[in-house]
A = this chain, B = another copy of it.
Amino acid sequence: MKVGFIGLGVMGAPMARHLLAAGHELALWARRPQAAAFVAEGVPVCATPAALAARSEVVITMVTASADVEALAFGAHGLAEGFSPGAVHVDMSTIAPASARMLAARYAERGVGWVDAPVSGGAQGAHEASLAIMAGAEAATLERVRPLLAVLGRRIVHIGPPGAGQVAKACNQMIMVSTIQACAEAVRLAAVHGVDVAAVRSALMGGSAGSRVLEVMGQRMVERDFGAGIEARLHHKDFALLMDEAARLGAPLPVAAQVWQQLNALMGAGWGREDTSSLLRVLEGGRG
């Protein structure tokens, strides 16, 4: 398939590589030098998003924020200027559900399809092509791009119409980071009691408190290895979006609100580029 790709970051670069390896006709638009490695292999780089759209059946974007996706789609020389009717924009970034719905509606007026397909699984999932993909789209549109998504992820769930994928992603982030905070509080409580935190984590795994977070982030807390993993600043960004949505919808999220404040403290301490298991250090308040 003729696929355009925008967003060669820590997630996007390995994803683009999987599409190339699977035999798709890849083209790029990129502002940053990450494209060089692809250019060396003969992948064309277009001058504008519009030019990329004009030569693509599907364009995949993997960028940071709602504003980025909106500018790429409907800004000057944006994708919308280049797409032919029947083309599809698959946005795999994490953005506001309302933004995804608005873009889908504007594209629909032009006969262009939309899929919001945010992912869970992080850089490791992108490298191993094992991402979990939460799709918001009309069913027929999703079926057209499913072969591409299957190259990138292991599990593709059609949540509902445009925007629904982003709602699921918001739920994922909210549960994940709240669980990280709960594990941090448990580790802190065990530590102030003078109890071996590694033994506590081990006892809790596999029981009613067991989770992927306790397994992975819990181990980072036990080893005090805060360097690797997911950059906390990205979760901080997700929570800003989430709490804004909750305010707009009149939906109280008391624990998420508290986690957001802890993430604010984490950012204030300068740990935004370290793993979110640094929430443990916020609780320690500098007392180690």
A residues neighboring B (CB under 8 Å) = 97, 120-122, 132, 134, 155, 157-160, 163-164, 167-168, 170-176, 178-179, 181-183, 185-190, 192-193, 195-196, 199-200, 202-204, 206-214, 216, 242, 245-246, 249-259, 261-262, 283, 285
Which of A245, A246, A251 counts the most B-chain CB atoms under 10 A from its CB?
Answer: A251
> Are A159 and B200 in touch, CB under 8 angstroms?
yes
Inter-chain contacts of A251 with B (CB < 8 A): 188-189, 192, 283
Inter-chain contacts of A155 with B (CB < 8 A): 203, 206-207
> Are B168 and A134 in touch, CB under 8 angstroms?
no
Select which of B209, B253, B256 is within 8 A of A176 by beta carbon: B209
Can you name 17 extra interface pairs (CB under 8 A) apart from A174-B189, A182-B182?
Answer: A97-B193, A120-B208, A132-B203, A132-B204, A159-B196, A164-B196, A164-B199, A168-B195, A171-B186, A172-B203, A172-B207, A188-B253, A189-B246, A189-B251, A192-B251, A210-B212, A254-B258
Give Cα distance in the complex from A179 to B179, angstroms: 6
> Are A203 and B122 in touch, CB under 8 angstroms?
no
A/B interface sample: 17 pairs, CB < 8 A: A121-B208, A122-B208, A132-B203, A157-B202, A159-B195, A168-B195, A170-B189, A172-B203, A174-B185, A175-B179, A175-B183, A175-B211, A179-B179, A208-B216, A255-B259, A255-B262, A258-B258
Give Cα distance in the complex from A178 to B179, angstroms: 7
> Are A190 and B167 in touch, CB under 8 angstroms?
yes
Inter-chain contacts of A132 with B (CB < 8 A): 203-204, 206-207
Tell me how many chains of this kind the complex includes: 2
Q: Shortest Cβ distance from A146 into chain B, in angstroms?
A: 15
> Are B168 and A175 in touch, CB under 8 angstroms?
no
Q: Shortest Cβ distance from A196 into chain B, in angstroms?
A: 6
Q: Shortest Cβ distance from A35 into chain B, in angstroms?
A: 29
Inter-chain contacts of A242 with B (CB < 8 A): 189
Q: Shortest Cβ distance from A42 into chain B, in angstroms?
A: 35
Give Cα distance in the complex from A193 to B160, angstroms: 11
A176-B209, A209-B172, A213-B211 known; A164 and B259 CB under 8 Å? no
Give Cα distance in the complex from A262 to B178, angstroms: 15
Q: Shortest Cβ distance from A171 into chain B, in angstroms?
A: 4
> Are B255 and A195 in touch, CB under 8 angstroms?
no
Inter-chain contacts of A182 with B (CB < 8 A): 174-175, 178-179, 182, 255-256
Give Cα distance in the complex from A270 to B208, angstroms: 25
> Are B178 and A255 in touch, CB under 8 angstroms?
yes
